[in-house]
Amino acid sequence: MRFGTPYDEIYVDDAFVPEKEARLSVLANAVSYGTGTFEGVRALWNPGQQELYLLEAGAHYVRMGRSARILGLDLPHGPGHLVGVTAELLRRNGVRGDAYVRPLLLQAGEQLAVRMHDSGTRLYIAATPMPGDYIDRRGVRCAVSTWRRAVDTTVPGRAKVTGGYVGPSLAKSEAIRNGFDEAIMLTADGYVAEATTSNILLRTGRDWATPSPADDILDGITRRLVARLLGELAGAAVTERRVHRSELYACDEALLCGTAALVAPVVEVDGRRVGDGRPGEATLAVQSALDAISRRRDPRHPEWTTPVYGGA
Ligand code: PMP
């Protein structure tokens, strides 16, 4: 799907301003050097309750604080405050539908200097409507990319760095050009890392596995929720370990998960069917449970969600 245009108001450095005024100079260091960090937070609408819920918003701002620290930048507020700002942004925009919130901490200085220090930052939070699927949740056909995941010693993997998305962008376009839906990226030394903007979990027999952060993945927040639900719904324990490329071809079930993707079954990798080529049972169970929990249609794990309107 394509994102819609952003909602009218954006948060910029402690103020809410019209989207058109939330500008960054083309000379800002973040534009040339990719020096900034960002997050994505899901807001999911429950029409029965007329309520909008943020999914694990606090965890996203905790990760953003860590990303900033890795980069040596300063995130000016803590997670609690930023979750409150996010809810206020959505209320001010009257958001009543599924949306995607995009917090951005960018190097806004315009000096001709490639460095992290002494360049002012600006904090933005924007929201866009996100009706429908970001990636087809009925089944994804993947290709292993010729582009590798950046190693932590080149672009820090634990930080969600704006400049770190050049490789995933190349990988995604390569996959689409070759007739697939999504790319799976390997580590520089050839182990499975993750898809372009989502993590991967796979099952062989009863063994569920997922690569660990030591294999240069972004330590996904959705991945933790999915592992928890696999335990609760399917009695499965997910092992974080190195995963070989050939396991992608031999596995019985695989899924992608992320804030935008939520949970999507992988039905094919490099022209080989995953399992019998249909979405896995546990994957579908977790997909629908996470959707219901995210909208509080299911009473389990209310600690994962924050109401936007009722909380006001
Ligand atoms: N890997 C990458 C590279 C991503 O950009 C994302 C999306 N943030 C993920 C994995 C999934 O992480 P999360 O579940 O926290 O959105």
DSSP, residue by residue, 160-172: -BGGGGHHHHHHH
Between the CA of 147 and the centroid of ligand 1 the distance, in Å, is 17
| Pairwise CA distance, residues 78 & 81, whole Å | 6
pLDDT of res. 90: 98
Check: CB of residue 72 under 8 Å from CB of residue 89. Answer: no
Atom of ligand 1 nearest to the CA of 60: 15
Distances (CA, A) of 46 to 10, 50, 274: 23, 6, 33
Q: What is the DSSP letter of 148?
A: P
Q: Give 38's strand partners.
A: 104
Output the six-digit token pair for 274: 């995953």
Would you say the CB of residue 210 lies under 6 angstroms from ligand 1?
no
Give the architecture (CATH level 2) of 9-129: 2-Layer Sandwich (3.30)
Instruction: Judge if the beta carbon of residue 157 lies within 6 A of ligand 1.
Output: no
Cα–Cα distance measured from residue 81 to residue 58, given in angstroms and rounded to the nearest whole number: 9
| Residue 54 CB partners (closer than 8 Å, separation 6+) | 41, 42, 43, 83, 86, 87, 90, 101, 305, 306, 308
Entry pTM: 0.96
Six-digit token pair at 22? 């939330």
Residue whose CA lies nearest to ligand 1 atom number 3: 197
The CATH code of domain 140-294 reads: 3.20.10.10
Respond yes or no on whether ipTM tops 0.95: yes
Atom 12, ligand 1: residue with shortest CA distance: 220
* Ligand 1 touching residue 211 (CB < 6 A): no
Q: Are 281 and 288 in contact (CB under 8 A)?
A: no
Q: Tens-digit pLDDT profile for the chain (312 aa)?
A: 456 788 999 999 999 999 989 889 999 999 999 999 999 999 999 999 999 999 999 999 999 999 999 999 999 999 999 999 999 999 999 999 999 999 999 999 998 889 999 889 999 999 999 988 888 888 999 999 999 999 999 999 999 999 999 999 999 999 999 999 999 999 999 999 999 999 999 999 999 999 999 999 999 999 999 999 999 999 999 999 999 999 999 999 999 999 999 999 999 999 999 999 999 999 999 999 999 999 999 999 999 999 999 954
**Which residues are bridge partners to 244 per DSSP?**
191
Token pair belonging to 106: 């960018």
Domain extents for the chain?
Answer: 9-129, 140-294
pLDDT of residue 3: 62
